[in-house]
């Protein structure tokens, strides 16, 4: 992983989106070395050095460089089920323009969920790709408890591996569902692949939201391979699509470290229409995250 100086250069060189008022980066992570926020003993890697204060400053710079003023911090599994670093980040950033997604297990208590909602968490994450302590059965049981608190489920999966299995149950899930990283599709199979087609069907029926993020994980810069997937999603339901950078690019898993300007340029190339940019960066996140 790059050192902090390299990361800062990547952020500073980014190109702003322009005049999107109230625009939101709907997917970033927060890291920082602090004895209050212990790392998980089962973590896959160590985050970059730097205090939480340092990384919050970097995050603010990241947003300014894109011309965005809102953000969603997705709790990293590097810290396990202890969501405190993410809660502290939201506390310092302020709930006016910032929200969080947390990690829980099947046994999460009512008290824990109440505290998360109070701290600005708008959802929890189910991870089919890297694993985790929340499984699909637990998610189904948890869904009405989340809905009662204005929260949703965020799912990281491979659409070509997992969507056929869970699509029927997703139609019945008793809370909103956000699919991360465009369903991490199989680029070689194209947007007509069966699993991605099922994802698009759910999107068309307002059963899921789709995050147009993570393209660097399954394609190479300038990420033009992903354009047809982005456009296919927008063709069926542009009111349910949002965008996130995935900054600061942790747990790369063999993917190349991306540059933020390349990620923003990829979105603008795939979606040149200003009206759609406004919907994806501002209107849709405002509805989903209750800004």
Tell me what the mean pLDDT of segment 117-122 comes to.
Answer: 98
Which class for 289: exposed (0-12), middle (13-18), buried (19 or more C-beta within 10 A)? buried
Indicate the domain borders of the chain: 4-288
Residue 99 has pLDDT above 80, yes or no: yes
Instruction: Please choose, from the candidates 188, 177, 128, the residue with its C-alpha nearest in 3D space to the C-alpha of residue 152.
Output: 177
Gap between the Cα atoms of 116 and 124, Å rounded: 10
Strand order in the sheet with 209-211: 24-28, 70-74, 98-102, 121-127, 152-156, 177-179, 209-211, 241-242
- Rounded CA separation 74/91 (Å): 14
Q: How does DSSP classify residue 47? A: P
Say what the pTM is: 0.93
Helix (H) and strand (E) counts in the chain:
11, 8
What is 2-45 written as a DSSP string? --HHHHHHHHHTPPP--S-TT-EEEEE------TTSPPPTT-SS
Out of 3.30.1490.120, 3.40.50.720, 3.20.20.140, 3.40.50.300, the CATH code matching 4-288 is 3.20.20.140
pLDDT band for position 16 (50/70/90)? Answer: low
Q: Tell whether the model's pLDDT for residue 3 goes beyond 60.
A: no
pLDDT digits (tens, 9 = 90+) for 162-199: 999 999 999 999 999 999 999 999 999 999 999 999 99
pLDDT tens-place string over residues 229-247: 999 999 999 999 999 999 9
């Amino acid at each position: 992983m790059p050192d902090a100086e390299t990361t800062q250069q990547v952020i500073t060189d980014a190109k702003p989106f322009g005049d999107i008022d109230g625009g939101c980066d709907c997917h970033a992570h927060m890291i920082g070395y602090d004895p209050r926020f212990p790392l998980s003993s089962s973590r896959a890697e160590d985050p970059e050095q730097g205090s939480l204060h340092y990384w919050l400053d970097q995050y603010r710079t990241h947003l300014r460089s894109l011309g965005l003023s809102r953000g969603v911090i997705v709790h990293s599994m590097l810290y396990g089920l202890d969501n405190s670093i993410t809660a502290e980040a939201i506390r310092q950033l302020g709930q006016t323009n910032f929200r969080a997604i947390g990690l829980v297990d099947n046994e999460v208590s009512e008290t824990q969920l109440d505290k998360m909602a109070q701290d600005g968490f708008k959802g929890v994450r189910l991870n089919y790709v890297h694993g985790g302590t929340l499984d699909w059965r637990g998610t189904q049981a948890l869904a009405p408890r989340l809905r009662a608190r204005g929260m949703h489920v965020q799912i990281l999966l491979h659409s070509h591996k997992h969507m056929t299995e869970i699509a029927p149950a997703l139609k019945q899930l008793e809370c909103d569902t956000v699919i991360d990283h465009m369903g991490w599709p199989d680029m070689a199979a194209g947007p007509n692949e069966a699993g991605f087609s099922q994802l698009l069907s759910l999107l068309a029926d307002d059963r899921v939201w789709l995050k147009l993020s993570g393209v660097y994980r399954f394609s190479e810069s300038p990420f033009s391979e992903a354009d047809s997937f982005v456009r296919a999603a927008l063709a069926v339901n542009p009111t349910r699509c949002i965008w996130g950078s995935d900054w600061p690019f942790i747990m790369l898993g063999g993917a190349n470290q991306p540059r933020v300007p390349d990620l923003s340029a990829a979105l603008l190339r795939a979606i040149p229409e200003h009206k759609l940019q406004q919907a994806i960066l501002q209107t849709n996140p405002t509805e989903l995250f209750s800004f």
